[in-house]
Amino acid sequence: MESNTPIESLERDEHVFLSYCRADGAAARCIVAALEARGVRVWWDRNLSSGAVFSHEIEKALRSSRKVLVLWSKDAVLSDWVRDEAALARDLGLLSPVMLDDSKPPLGFGQYHAVDLSRWSGQADAAEFDSLISAVSAATPASATVRAPSANSQARVGDRVGELGLFIRRRRLLLGGGLAALTGVAAVSLLGGLGKSPFSSAALTSVAVLPFDNLSGDPSMEYVCDGLGEELISALARLDTLQVAGKISSFRFRKSDKSPAAIGASLGVAYLIDGTLHRLGDVLRMNVHLIEAKSGFARWSQTLETPASDALGLETRLSETVAVQLRGHMGQADKALLAGGRADRPEAFDAYLKGKKLFEQGGSEAVYREALNQFEAAIAAQPNFAPARSFKARALLTLGDVYLTEPRAARRAFEDALSSAEDAVSIAPGLPIVQATFADALVTVRLDLGAASRAYAEAMKTGSGQADVLTRFGYFAARTGDVAHGVSAAKLAAVLDPLNPKTFQFLGLVLTVANDFDGAEKALRQALSLNPVAEGVHAALGDVFYLRGRFEAAKGEYSLESETWKKQKGFALALEKLGDHAGAKLALGRLKAELGELGLYQEAQILAQSGRLDEAFNALNGAFQHKDAGMVALKADPLLRPLQSDARFADLLSRLNLRASG
């Protein structure tokens, strides 16, 4: 009969659990005999009582063991049963692998040190068997637990950081705690230095998804190829133990002739996923490959097919199939993470992919409006499609911020954006990009920094592996006063997306707030090396030189800036310090003429730096009244430091729901 003992209530026993495949039965018997001869108590499936319910008894025995020996062989790596047991042992911190031959363990397990018994004589006192005895005698890691995983198994209960005590995930970046000034955003533990990867943990598998090749002969299918790749990146990045390179960096290798080793080195990953998409009549066929970057050898490949009208079905199978190959195991909680926010209707998914392609193309109001039309078509086909509502919000925010000059039209776009973002969060609150977009809308439309910080906290719970989420959170955190966490997140984004100029641009901005001017200059120069015509980078470099007191160098950088209002703001700052008061006044006038009331925050920066404190506070009060999103930076803005000792500054912080430093 099945035991009535709940798995959750099991206590740790002193036995060692043995996992093996039936083809290795003879080797397993020999190992059990030798272990017992050395005084080690072993549980293996020969201990099952007659009539026992196998799965329940085996899981109880595994969870209550002090170690789990997994015997890997050419047959075992193909066994779903052995891989499932190994994955559970890994997650519990009990895994002790053993190699019976020269085969490689499945992906997700190859980084763990294994005892090599491929040449073992079978004697209990052999030297190589001593290594196995040492492995099973080692103390059980403190992080191991015998409790069943919760429904939110992506978050492992661990150390509490800060009074909010958010869960710590298994990534080496530690998520938890709260914004020092606001509420729960995630802490990040990260090695310092540009480009220095924090991912040295053996529990991580690093991978990049390269752009899939469109072999259909139909250029209009490009959006399907790119969309499938982007959705795969987003899905895999939500899974623990996977380090996934950012989309911008990975997609730089479209039709590249570089070797897998060179691509892997550029992206800092061990594995590459690439594939091709064919349209053969009414069928979509995808050939997908998993390549070991260092050797260039394909570790796995598969062909997937769906009806041509059902790219959604292809995406669903693709993400689950690749995830299983990378992690060696997929529990229900992992599948739920992969499926988060997924479309249910093929026509909704198709319109969504078209909209994303247009949104990323950008460049004109007409393009963003067509993207908006596609997102609305996706929502019409499936009203509960959260990502489509989230991207609708992003399109509206862009239109309102960049293209709609009439104030009432811009305000309508902003309000519609916030409404759409709220709808998306109510449908899929666990989807990181949905929460990050909601946070952006809260800042832009309402200047509600408290609610935005809570949204970012939710985004970081499962979005800490997504470069875009990390960048947006890091920039927000640093500007609202949580500089250390902002810097850590921005640096991690640069590790995950090392060829994305925007990632380094925002890292430079965050490091400027942190007074790391050398690091900021290095990051901004890297952004320019990746995109020499990037808007805003020369202005940011000008600010770095200005804050160093190198006003002539700052003026030179401002003169290279392509965004005119940023150039004029910089000139107003630098020329005043260089004694050209007339030139500074002229630049300030041009800034006002271009931005009007939208430039009040920038005016306050200039006035504060020139010592005109009363006028600076008047400008800031006006910016607050107009809900200027620039006010998010008030607390940590180095250009406003002349105001920080004034009681009026503390009052403004209080009105923004920010606490004064100290």
Reply yes or no on whether the pLDDT at 261 is more than 50. yes
Per DSSP, 156 falls in state: B
Worst-scoring range by mean pLDDT, 107-111, 171-175, 521-525? 171-175
Reply yes or no on whether the pLDDT at 562 is more than 60. yes
Residues 316-340 pLDDT 10s: 788 888 887 887 666 666 677 666 6
On whether both 15 and 130 belong to a single domain, the answer is yes
In sequence order, what are the beta bridge partners of 379? none
- pLDDT category at 12 given cuts 50, 70, 90 is low
- pLDDT reported for residue 336: 72
Please list, residue by residue across 173-184, b when 16 or more beta carbons sit within 10 angstroms of its beta carbon and e when fewer do. Answer: bbbbbbbbbbbb
Reply yes or no on whether the pLDDT at 187 is more than 50. no
d(Cα 433, Cα 359) in Å, to the nearest integer?
Answer: 15
On whether both 217 and 125 belong to a single domain, the answer is no
- pLDDT reported for residue 252: 93
- pLDDT reported for residue 135: 83
Query: What's the average model confidence in pLDDT over 556-571?
Result: 95
Residue at which a domain ends, from 137, 163, 184:
137
On whether both 212 and 325 belong to a single domain, the answer is yes
Worst-scoring range by mean pLDDT, 197-206, 241-250, 629-638? 197-206
d(Cα 437, Cα 455) in Å, to the nearest integer?
Answer: 9
| Residue 177 covered by a domain | no
Residues 84-96 pLDDT 10s: 888 888 877 889 9
- pLDDT reported for residue 204: 60
The answer to whether 242 and 465 are in contact (CB under 8 A) is yes
| Residue 247 covered by a domain | yes
| Residue 536 covered by a domain | no
The answer to whether 527 and 533 are in contact (CB under 8 A) is no
On whether both 82 and 216 belong to a single domain, the answer is no
Q: At residue 187, what are phi and psi to the nearest 5 degrees?
A: -85, 150
On whether both 231 and 329 belong to a single domain, the answer is yes
Q: What is the residue whose two structure tokens read 């897998």?
A: 260
Provide the whole-model pTM. Answer: 0.71
| Residue 598 covered by a domain | yes
Supply the CATH number for residue 272's domain. Answer: 3.40.50.10610
| Residue 98 covered by a domain | yes
d(Cα 418, Cα 397) in Å, to the nearest integer?
Answer: 9
d(Cα 26, Cα 7) in Å, to the nearest integer?
Answer: 30
Query: What's the average model confidence in pLDDT over 632-649?
Result: 94
Reply yes or no on whether the pLDDT at 530 is more than 70. yes
- pLDDT category at 421 given cuts 50, 70, 90 is very high
Residue at which a domain ends, from 322, 349, 376:
349
Query: What's the average model confidence in pLDDT over 411-435?
Result: 95
Q: What is the residue whose two structure tokens read 């015509």?
A: 533
Average pLDDT, the chain: 83
Residues 50-69 pLDDT 10s: 444 456 678 788 888 889 99
- pLDDT category at 225 given cuts 50, 70, 90 is confident
> 3-state class of 16 per DSSP?
strand
The count of domains in the chain is: 3
Cα torsion 75, 76, 81, 82 to 10°: value is: 180
| Residue 234 covered by a domain | yes
d(Cα 96, Cα 560) in Å, to the nearest integer?
Answer: 58
d(Cα 528, Cα 195) in Å, to the nearest integer?
Answer: 16
Residues 234-243 pLDDT 10s: 888 888 778 8
- pLDDT reported for residue 402: 86
| Residue 324 covered by a domain | yes
Residues 582-631 pLDDT 10s: 999 999 999 999 988 889 999 999 999 999 999 999 999 999 998 888 99
Residues 452-476 pLDDT 10s: 999 999 999 888 889 999 999 999 9
| Residue 209 covered by a domain | yes
On whether both 304 and 228 belong to a single domain, the answer is yes
- Range of 180-184, 293-297, 425-429 with top mean pLDDT: 425-429
On whether both 210 and 342 belong to a single domain, the answer is yes
On whether both 15 and 106 belong to a single domain, the answer is yes
> 3-state class of 531 per DSSP?
coil
Q: Which domain holds residue 115?
A: 7-137
- pLDDT reported for residue 188: 31
Supply the CATH number for residue 26's domain. Answer: 3.40.50.10140
- pLDDT reported for residue 150: 33
d(Cα 406, Cα 490) in Å, to the nearest integer?
Answer: 34
- pLDDT reported for residue 50: 47
Reply yes or no on whether the pLDDT at 513 is more than 80. yes
d(Cα 49, Cα 223) in Å, to the nearest integer?
Answer: 56
Residue at which a domain ends, from 103, 137, 171:
137
Q: Quick one: three-class SS letters along 179-207?
A: CCCCCCCCCCCCCCCCCCCCCCCCCCEEE
- pLDDT category at 152 given cuts 50, 70, 90 is very low
- pLDDT reported for residue 157: 23
Tokens read off for 465:
């592996």
- pLDDT category at 163 given cuts 50, 70, 90 is very low
- pLDDT reported for residue 81: 81
